[in-house]
Amino acid sequence: MTVMRPYKHPDPSTFALERIFHALSDPARLDIVRHLDSVERATCGELEFGRPKSSMSHHFRILREAGLVHTQTAGTTHLNTLRRQELDARFPGLLGAVLKQPR
């Protein structure tokens, strides 16, 4: 039986604008964040949008390290949520302003 280690997520006090802007600068990652803003949570499969799993793993790592996404493992499924409350507490209005921009 394979046991998956939990993912590491940064403490909100360490969120950095440079990392957040870098994470959001990629259209695939911005699509993921936009989708997560409209749902409670989503699996990695729901967020692939036809992209290869290998590139999606990279995108999720960047989003987690920036503090934008929380990934929880449930068996073999990865459930992702947007860390909206923590982001809004650290940088009020930032995520809302980014997400309001036209596609």
**pLDDT tens, position by position, 71-95:** 998 888 889 999 999 999 999 999 9
| Residue 36 contacts residue 81 (beta carbons within 8 Å) | yes
Residue 92 backbone dihedrals phi, psi, to 5 degrees: -55, 130
Banded model confidence at residue 102, pLDDT cuts 50, 70, 90: confident
Enumerate the domain spans of the chain.
27-100
Banded model confidence at residue 43, pLDDT cuts 50, 70, 90: confident
| Residue 56 contacts residue 44 (beta carbons within 8 Å) | yes
Give the mean pLDDT of the chain: 90
Of 91, 85, 87, 82, which Cα lies nearest the Cα of 29? 82
How many angstroms separate the CA atoms of 36 and 45, rounded? 13
Of 2, 19, 5, which Cα lies nearest the Cα of 83? 19
- Residue 99: predicted pLDDT: 92
* CATH class of this structure's domain 27-100: mainly alpha
